[in-house]
Amino acid sequence: MYDRSSCILIITELKNWAQIKNQHNSILILAAGCHLFIEDLSRIVPICIFGVCKSRIMNIEELREYCVSKPGVTEEFPFDENTLVFKVMGKMFALTDLVDDFSLNLKCDPERAIELREQHPAIQPGYHMNKKHWNTLMMDGSISAKLILELIDHSYQLVVNKLPLKIRQELDLLKSE
């Protein structure tokens, strides 16, 4: 994975590229075999450079779409109008603030939570949550989209595994529909 400075260096070294503003006011840089999206000039978001870049920033719409696509998931605002909470069969597995810096709280196995915090500065003990069982992911682009999706799945599955048998059976019925 490349950091911001590496991507800037790669961009400056690319030959024959063009900048085009798309409808979202992002800049799309095109070159032979290279696709990059830059949300603004201060945030380099690598998607793929000759197949080697693997990270990009997930936005709130993608997060919401991914979470609500899971069986048995609902979204609500139980705390205030700014905190979006995702629940599976009525139990919380993810939450995010819609106003402040983009972050995501996810449930996590305690041992894995410690490992993740050691490996990724943008993964911190859960803000306003039980620090043993929850992590806060600062969605600053330093965590790969693949890892974010994996951690969402992990959180979802941890909650599902703790549901009473009857509720898990109801969820299985939803999955088969």
Residue of 104, 113, 99, 122 whose CA lies nearest to 63: 104
Rg (CA), the chain: 18
Range(s) within the chain of domains with CATH label 3.90.1150.30: 60-176
Residue-level pLDDT at 51: 36
Residue-level pLDDT at 141: 87
Q: How many C-beta neighbours within 10 Å does residue 162 have?
A: 11
Please give, one letter per residue, the 3-state secondary structure of the chain: CCCHHHHHHHHHHCCCCEEEECCCCCEEEEECCEEEEEEECCEEEEEEECCCCCCCCCCHHHHHHHHHCCCCEEEECCCCCCEEEEEECCEEEEEEECCCCCEEEEECCHHHHHHHHHHCCCEEECCCCCCCCEEEEECCCCCCHHHHHHHHHHHHHHHHHHCCHHHHHHHHHHHHC
Report pLDDT digits (tens) over 58-96: 788 999 999 999 999 999 999 999 999 999 999 999 999
Residue of 14, 65, 68, 64 whose CA lies nearest to 38: 14
Residue-level pLDDT at 56: 55
Per-residue pLDDT of the chain (177 residues; tens, 9 = 90+): 334 433 443 443 333 333 333 333 333 333 333 344 433 333 333 333 333 334 456 788 999 999 999 999 999 999 999 999 999 999 999 999 888 888 999 999 999 999 999 999 999 998 888 888 999 999 988 899 899 999 999 999 999 999 999 999 999 998 887
φ, ψ for residue 166, nearest 5 deg:
-60, -40
CATH numeric code, 60-176 = 3.90.1150.30
